[in-house]
Amino acid sequence: MAENHFGGIKIRNLYKIFGPNPAAHVDAVQKGLTKTELNQKYGHVLGLRDINLEMPSGCIQVVMGLSGSGKSTLIRHINRLIDPTAGEVLVDGVDVVKMNETELRTFRRQQTAMVFQKFALLPHRNVLDNTMFGLEVQGMERAKAVDVAMRWIERVGLKGFEQKYPNQLSGGMQQRVGLARALSNDAPVLLMDEAYSALDPLIRTDMQTVLLDIQKEIKKTIVFITHDLDEALRLGDQIAILRDGEVIQQGTSQDIVLRPADDYIANFVKEVNRGRVVHVEAVMTPLHSAAAANGPTITAGTTVEEAVRMLASTPDDNARVVSPSGETLGLVTFRQLAGAMVNSQEVAPQRDSALSVAL
């Protein structure tokens, strides 16, 4: 597959106000008018307030929040299904907000693909024809479209089902069709709006695994909307948490879990299985290579849960944490690992500078 030179997504000073005259109230909102005041005084609804996000190319950006937080409104600005009241949406350096109708149509067909919560499959088309739909819209000749679609149908685990219709498939299988259809377009940006929220937990976990495995190969810029923190932590290279149309915190999964920005985020993460999120380098005691002893090693980036499993299989009660190139970064004990799984106080508040080698 061709290397992805896509430049990522930048959202700058984005505001969205719903109502008959939204532009008239932007200045007041920028000066501090609250969502409640805007609604009570002027009968307008504040959807998004001053959103600033940078989504690197080839990464999964998760946007999470409860119902009404603005997350679905935000993702629909990226392909301009919703027009902003103010602000910029730069996709690969081009402001989508300023595109004319022709430019926008081309952009939607060639640079973005979307996977919906409700699958959005065409009931009169079989799996193959649903998967090919976007390619047909682009004008690709059928033989080539069939070849592309069949490759993705197989990749998402639906080989042998290409002649089946949506009503003959389970929910999880229908969502695989939706994913195959989006991937067939080979657009650099993949937008996934609550894509797995309607699925049963086991199927949902399976679909998360499918997405992560495929992402290792395709390196798309994926914007994934969810209300589920465990899903966000598992999928997101970066996570942004919204509340009432504002970004409350953004960062990596470890940033969110270890350094919650306020009580709202802290309540979100208090029940999280830290062992599956926290990495060993956040727990270890830094060491210089010269001070390192022999014994078991654990590579930086390994989760605490996996490190416990690895250390439990040895007679030792500590291990060296090493960079991918083998340089010793620190020493971690079984006690430190166990403590980090249940108590954030066991986790070092900040990383040693040597960790940049590993990251």
Residues 231-251, mean pLDDT to the nearest whole number: 94
Residue 107: predicted pLDDT: 94
CA angle 182/186/187 to nearest 5° reads: 80
Tokens of 26: 């932007």
Rg (CA), the chain: 23
d(CA 137, CA 39): 41
- 113: alpha, beta or left, given left = phi > 0 and alpha = psi -120 to 50? beta
pLDDT above 70 as % of the chain: 92
Residue 312: predicted pLDDT: 87
Cα 187 to the center of its chain, rounded Å: 17
Residues 125-142, mean pLDDT to the nearest whole number: 92
Is residue 358 scored above 50 in pLDDT? no
Q: Residue 213 — pLDDT band, cuts 50, 70, 90?
A: very high
Per-domain boundaries in the chain: 275-357
Residues 28-32, mean pLDDT to the nearest whole number: 94
Is residue 108 scored above 80 in pLDDT? yes
By CB atoms closer than 10 A (0-12, 13-18, 19+), residue 3 is exposed
Residue 346: predicted pLDDT: 45
Residue 357: predicted pLDDT: 36
List pLDDT tens digits, range 298-328: 999 899 999 999 888 888 888 889 888 888 8
Contact (Cβ atoms closer than 8 angstroms) between residue 282 and residue 358 = no
Residue 267: predicted pLDDT: 87
d(CA 58, CA 79): 18
Q: For the chain, what is the mean pLDDT?
A: 88
List pLDDT tens digits, range 90-99: 999 999 999 9
Residue 191: predicted pLDDT: 95
Tokens of 4: 């992805």
Q: Does domain 275-357 have CATH number 3.90.550.10?
A: no
Give buried/exposed letters for 195-225 (b at 16+ CB in 10 A, else e): bbebbeeebbebbbebbeebbeeebbbbbbb
Lowest mean pLDDT among 117-121, 180-184, 195-199, 308-312: 117-121
Q: Residue 219 — pLDDT band, cuts 50, 70, 90?
A: very high
Handedness of CA 337, 341, 346, 347 (dihedral sign): positive
pLDDT above 90 as % of the chain: 61
Residue 249: predicted pLDDT: 95
Q: 92 or 7: whose pLDDT is higher?
A: 92
Residue 348: predicted pLDDT: 46
Residues 93-120, mean pLDDT to the nearest whole number: 90
Residue 339: predicted pLDDT: 83
